[in-house]
A and B are shown apart, each in its own frame.
Chain A
Amino acid sequence: MSAPHETPHATARATTEGTVYTVTGGDWDEVVQSAAKADDERIVVNMGPQHPSTHGVLRLILEIEGETVTEARCGIGYLHTGIEKNLEFRNWTQGTTFVTRMDYLTSFFNETAYCLGVEKLLGIEDDIPDRATLLRVLLMELNRLSSHLVCIATGGMELGATTIMIYGFRDRELILDAYELITGLRMNHAFIRPGGLAQDLPPGAVDHLRELVRTLRKNLPEYDKLATGNPIFKARMQDVGYLDLAGCMALGATGPILRSAGLPHDLRRSDPYCGYETFEFDVPTADSCDSYGRFLIRLEEMRQSLRIVEQCLDRLEPGPVMVADKKIAWPAQLALGPDGLGNSLDHIKNIMGTSMEALIHHFKLVTEGFRVPPGQAYAAVESPKGELGAHVVSDGGTRPYRVHFRDPSFTNLQAMAAMCEGGQVADVIVAVASIDPVMGGVDR
């Protein structure tokens, strides 16, 4: 083996597997040249796990020949946090606190899938108050917007289109403000609970949301103006990350990837939950099977989500947001105090001063939790990335026996090799961005 050729941007060291270059920015040509001087023809490039354009700690292992990728593989697991195992050691209500952190860009979807599963096990699907269901839909659709905005923003940034990035995060910020108003948190809300919601909308929230919808309606066309007809953008996106319908079905790809292959499969339509059958919206598709098609679908889905949000706001009527069954409903009534969100003074007064039974109830539900009859259930929602399924198993105890999440990012990421092999190195970034993987969801 020849001696490693150093460049200012790529230190080299010899290993038993060949020369290993550590590239930290700089001129790619220099690296390729120095690698070409070595007598080894095969070059394996490790992209990540900490590369800004691999969406978190995703590791791409690319075998390249010149600029062409001959083989592509994913290395995942760098963000595995054992959430599914941890769930087995908390009670059913505490579970939402964990699942909300899985795919951290689609918190409300994780929470809803989990809660729908638990509610199915409890047999209380029909007892969930309408207002709670409507607010779940509203939050999920806002969440679809904020997730797609991040996808488009980071995807644009990876192409060097920083304006799209700024615009995307600007609009996402508006949505996060709405989350903060409603749940108290910008991310990781744990707001949707088995049986309903943690609390009702605060005063002024409906007006705030209507204003938000107006603003977003004004802002969304800017993405069209910036990107949709932009020749550079199109040249980078079109025919890149190609995956046709047969490939999608075999690899289990769902969400915008499947719809970009022309199949209008959307669980909100084909297997409705949370009353989606009563909402008016369209399921956009494309027939190009490529990254550009997925971009257009995401843009259109954001408009459709705004329609659903408006319909939710029109339908909202006062009422409870938690199931009436006091053996399941979380006993606390939350209120905003001087030190943040906590139990309302009314509730404290009730349990500490007037009703011993209420105190016992509160204590039992908070420390022990409710029991869920033995059995298993599968609840699936259409997350911005595809089918998000929760397989929930109970052994009749106060803790989940097993919860497994079928995260769409995890499944869709398998399609990376099919999309990238035979293409250019630069197109790998575009293809991965169009899958929109979030490693918190992939690794859980």
Chain B
Amino acid sequence: MSDEQQSGNNVPSPRDDTGEVIGVRKGMFGANNGGDTSGYGGLVRTVTLPGASARPYGGPGGVFDEIADELEGALEEQGIAPGNALVKTVVDRGEITFHVAREHLVQVARTLRDDPALRFELCTGVSGVHFPGDKGRELHAVYHLRSLTHGRLIRLEVSAPDADPHVPSLVAVYPTNDWHERETYDFFGLIFDGHPALTRIMMPDDWQGFPQRKDYPLGGIPVEYKGAQIPAPDQRRSYS
């Protein structure tokens, strides 16, 4: 490995300054309803997720660049402009995330699975994340793909707005996602188009609402302990 490459691995990858703003944090000590005499009450900070990375992506031995090159090449061969399918690529904490436009998700996943240089045979399912502050992209579906052939791990991320919570289903490519997508639908209300039987899996069939969304309350009752009332967990002070 040359010196440039090594130093390229050691310094954090350059980031887009903007990143993804997911919210604004106000104050400091979780006193949200007045009474904060600390002087920190007026503090306002934006919360930003790591933004897009620029080349080189690095990774152990430059493997992230290799994956990105192969993927972009394979997509071009199929007549898909990589820029349209891959919205952005984020390298953060030694992991690479491809943000995929939802209309191209199935094609990207199939390419990742079938291309001999990629061979991501194993999908470890989908995990939903709800960012109410990420306007227009509130619901995220996150997939982790593992290549047993090459010993690699990547992450795909797709987003959908709250107003149109549709993401194509990957069951046709990775049948293991059957239950995972049902679970994400159950908890986040993300509708996976093309899933063979998208029904609730954990909650009762007639349940109203999607419990893992941020606007869905945890619930709970205050508990009395040694004479004092301890509020329910979602009513306790949170340190913003």
B interface bracket (residues with beta carbon within 8 Å of A): 35 or more
Of the listed residues B129, B177, B240, the one surrounded by the most CB atoms of chain A closer than 10 A to its CB is: B129
Q: Which of A425-444 touch B at CB < 8 Å?
A: 443
Closest to A269 in B: B151
Q: Is A414 a contact of B176 with CB atoms below 8 Å? A: yes
Q: Which of B34-73 touch A at CB < 8 Å?
A: 47-50
Q: Is B148 a contact of A250 with CB atoms below 8 Å? A: no
Of the listed residues B124, B200, B212, the one surrounded by the most CB atoms of chain A closer than 10 A to its CB is: B124
Known: A252-B123, A375-B92. A414 touches B179 (CB 8 A): yes
Q: Is A374 a contact of B50 with CB atoms below 8 Å? A: yes
Q: Is B234 an interface residue (CB 8 A)?
A: yes
Q: Is A389 an interface residue (CB 8 A)?
A: yes
**Contact flags A318-349 to B (C-beta < 8 A → 1, else 0):** 00000000000000000000000000000000
Q: Which of B174-196 touch A at CB < 8 Å?
A: 174-180, 183, 187
Closest Cβ of chain A: how far from B239's Cβ, in Å? 4
* CA A443 to CA B183, docked complex, whole Å: 10
* CA A31 to CA B72, docked complex, whole Å: 61
* CA A139 to CA B46, docked complex, whole Å: 41
Q: Is A9 an interface residue (CB 8 A)?
A: no
A90's partner among B49, B144, B233 (CB-CB below 8 A) is B233
* CA A406 to CA B177, docked complex, whole Å: 11
Q: Is B230 an interface residue (CB 8 A)?
A: no
- A76-84, A209-217, A218-226, A230-238 - the one binding chain B: A76-84
- A170-178, A353-361, A393-401 - the one binding chain B: A393-401
Q: Is B153 a contact of A271 with CB atoms below 8 Å? A: yes
B179's partner among A82, A85, A254, A411 (CB-CB below 8 A) is A411
Known: A374-B48, A393-B129. A414 touches B178 (CB 8 A): yes
Cβ–Cβ < 8 Å partners of A395 in chain B: 22-23, 47, 49
Cβ–Cβ < 8 Å partners of B183 in chain A: 410
Known: A369-B239, A411-B180. A120 touches B125 (CB 8 A): no
Known: A77-B202, A250-B174, A402-B129. A389 touches B144 (CB 8 A): yes
Q: Is A120 a contact of B93 with CB atoms below 8 Å? A: yes
Cβ–Cβ < 8 Å partners of A376 in chain B: 49, 92, 95, 97, 129, 142, 155
Closest Cβ of chain B: how far from A418's Cβ, in Å? 10
* CA A144 to CA B206, docked complex, whole Å: 38
* CA A395 to CA B178, docked complex, whole Å: 29
* CA A77 to CA B97, docked complex, whole Å: 31
Of the listed residues B95, B202, B240, the one surrounded by the most CB atoms of chain A closer than 10 A to its CB is: B202
Q: Which of B189-213 touch A at CB < 8 Å?
A: 200-204, 211-212
Q: Is A391 a contact of B142 with CB atoms below 8 Å? A: yes
Q: Which of A80-133 touch B at CB < 8 Å?
A: 80, 82, 84-86, 88-90, 120-121, 123
Q: Is B121 an interface residue (CB 8 A)?
A: yes
Q: How many A residues, CB 8 Å from partner?
A: 49
Q: Is A301 an interface residue (CB 8 A)?
A: no
Q: Is B93 a contact of A121 with CB atoms below 8 Å? A: yes
Cβ–Cβ < 8 Å partners of B49 in chain A: 374-376, 395
Q: Is A382 an interface residue (CB 8 A)?
A: no
Q: Is B127 an interface residue (CB 8 A)?
A: yes
* CA A378 to CA B143, docked complex, whole Å: 10
Q: Is A374 a contact of B95 with CB atoms below 8 Å? A: no
Known: A249-B121, A250-B176. A86 touches B93 (CB 8 A): no
- Give the interface SS of chain B, mostly helix, strand, loop or mixed: mixed
Closest Cβ of chain A: how far from B48's Cβ, in Å? 6
Q: Is B218 a contact of A76 with CB atoms below 8 Å? A: no
Q: Is B233 a contact of A86 with CB atoms below 8 Å? A: yes
Cβ–Cβ < 8 Å partners of B130 in chain A: 402
Known: A395-B23, A411-B176. A252 touches B125 (CB 8 A): yes
Q: Is A378 a contact of B178 with CB atoms below 8 Å? A: no
Q: Is B238 an interface residue (CB 8 A)?
A: yes
Q: Is A251 an interface residue (CB 8 A)?
A: yes
Q: Is A270 a contact of B148 with CB atoms below 8 Å? A: yes
Q: Is B93 a contact of A377 with CB atoms below 8 Å? A: yes
Q: Is B135 an interface residue (CB 8 A)?
A: no
Q: Which of B206-225 touch A at CB < 8 Å?
A: 211-212, 218
Closest Cβ of chain A: how far from B218's Cβ, in Å? 5
Cβ–Cβ < 8 Å partners of A263 in chain B: 148
Q: Is B122 an interface residue (CB 8 A)?
A: yes
Cβ–Cβ < 8 Å partners of B144 in chain A: 378, 389, 391, 406
Closest to B184 in A: A404
Q: Is A374 a contact of B151 with CB atoms below 8 Å? A: no
Closest Cβ of chain B: how far from A411's Cβ, in Å? 6
Q: Is B203 a contact of A80 with CB atoms below 8 Å? A: yes
Known: A376-B142, A395-B22. A271 touches B151 (CB 8 A): yes
Cβ–Cβ < 8 Å partners of B200 in chain A: 77
Closest to B179 in A: A414
What are 12 A-B residue pairs whose CB atoms fall within 8 Å in the complex? A84-B187, A89-B233, A120-B93, A120-B94, A253-B176, A369-B239, A375-B92, A376-B155, A377-B93, A397-B239, A404-B142, A413-B179
The 9 closest A-B pairs by CB, nearest first: A252-B176, A404-B127, A77-B202, A80-B202, A89-B233, A368-B239, A391-B127, A250-B175, A398-B239
With A80-B202, A406-B125 known, 7 other A-B pairs at CB within 8 A are A80-B203, A270-B151, A374-B47, A389-B124, A391-B142, A395-B22, A395-B49
